[in-house]
Amino acid sequence: MKTEKEKMLSGELYKVYDEELTRERAYARDQVEAFNKLGESDPEASTKILRNLFGASGEECFIHPSFRCDFGYNIYVGEDFFANYDCVMLDIAPIHIGKHCLIGPKVQIYSVNHPLDPKQRRHGEMGIGKPVTLGEDLWIGGGSIICPGVTLGNNVIVGAGSVVTKSFGDDVVIAGNPARVIRENKR
């Protein structure tokens, strides 16, 4: 029989308020609070907190506070990563972000979803994860939302304020709600 954490990590319906998962969220929130308290006063200590929290991070990983996540261990960022102020990454399922990515202020990346059945959804008791994968050389404009299950290719620009509900390939500029291709992004 699988634990609720095993169910969560395998993309199955799981109990959000499971004791183990609640403890892990509390630990991550303590780490995030410590990171946010540091602000930009001690970049070395801030980086150390992120490296310990994330599943993996490349060199030159920088995030302006405030930052929020659920667990941290499901976040994987490549080299030369930057996220501006007020970034939220709900990492129930893995969030993979490639090298050389820029995230604007107030960007939200969600890998968590909830069941369509209202009885299962009540009180936020049940959840289900869908991974988010973002390619290399990505730029996500401020205030954008990346929804669960989305994959974006390499060299993609997401216009500010966009809501990305489906996947897109390489070399495009997308924008809108829902986001759509507005032009190619040639290298």
The residues spanned by each domain of the chain are 4-184
pLDDT at position 88 over 80 = yes
Q: Are 149 and 168 in contact (CB under 8 A)?
A: no
From 64, 96, 114, 123, active-site residue: 114
Q: Per the CATH hierarchy, to which homologous superfamily does domain 4-184 belong?
A: Hexapeptide repeat proteins (2.160.10.10)
Is 123 among the residues known to form the active site?
no
For residues 181 and 159, the answer to whether their CB atoms sit within 8 Å is no
Residue 169: pLDDT over 90: yes
User: Span 102-125, mean pLDDT?
Assistant: 90
Amino acid 40: pLDDT: 86
Res 59 pLDDT > 90: no
Provide DSSP, 12-76: --EETT-HHHHHHHHHHHHHHHHHHHHTTS-HHHHHHHHHHHSSEE-SSEEEPSPEEES-STTEE
pTM of the model: 0.95
Separation CA 155–CA 90 (nearest Å) = 23
